[in-house]
Amino acid sequence: MEIPNLGFGTYQMDDRDECVRAIELAMETGYEHVDTAQMYDNEAFVAAGLDESGIDRDEVFVATKLDTDNLAYDDVKRTAKESAEKLGTDTIDLLYVHWPINTYDPAETLPALDELVEEGVIERVGLSNFRPDQLEDAIEHLDEPLYAHQVEMHPMLPQEELHELAVEHDHQLVAYCPIARGQVADVPEIQAVAEKHDGTPAQVSLAWLMGKENVTAIPKAASPDHIRENFAARDLELDDEDREKIDGIETRERIVDFDEAPWNNA
């Protein structure tokens, strides 16, 4: 199964009942891609939600991420297997390096990921939050093809260089915070496109992302209305004029940022 271009994010869903209910509803709505992480401490909840939904596990693409303290060779191997057990699967569809910080070492971390593919613990290798130069370096270290790179991406942070690299190297660029945690609703250009299509700013932002080559969006939502609203973005078709209007947005806003982030230590 290849990665669908719309997924369901589970960041901060650390309450079991909330997470299980949200996953059940997401599966009922039609999502086929769920994104979690060791850092979220909810992999077992995601598994429970998938089980409760009754969906065939072969019909859902499940991705998780290695914590930044688990990137040494032995820790990668050990904790990936622990994640697979928590997720209730023999093989994880996609495993990311969550951040290239703390214990990340390309000479140790990446060969461990290659071996996990060989052993059948994971199906595909992903990276997350890498600078362009770090991404190129990682691709050189990997024997397995890079399948996906996950980064913050939305109309106020369009990630042009990383998108060009995704197309060049033929991997998926997976957009987290795709509606900028609701901030797209305050952008006049997005408001105008939403009114034109009788949609919402969140749907416009998601449609703009999904319409790009090699891009997947993974909005997080807990309420039934937002879960369904985000999924309905798949039916919103933007025209060239809409895309030009959104591409012309000059505001730049990064939602996820901290001193140790890779882009602050180039």
Active-site positions? 40
The first and second tokens of residue 262, run together, are 């890779």
Per-residue exposure over 77-104, b if at least 16 CB sit within 10 Å of its own CB, e if not: bebbeebbebbebebbbbbbbbbbbebb
Place of tokens 């997350």: 128
Which residues does 178 contact at the CB level (< 8 Å), separation at least 6?
Answer: 153, 154, 205, 206, 209, 217, 218, 219
Backbone angles phi, psi at 122, to 5 degrees: -130, 155
SS3 242: helix
Which pair of tokens denotes residue 5? 């271009």
8-9 β-sheet, strand order: 8-9, 33-35, 61-66, 94-97, 125-128, 146-152, 172-176, 215-217
Strand partners, 65: 96
- The DSSP bridge pattern shows strands 146-152 and 172-176 to be parallel
Task: Say if residues 207 and 233 touch (Cβ distance below 8 Å).
Answer: yes
Residue of 97, 92, 120 whose CA lies nearest to 110: 97
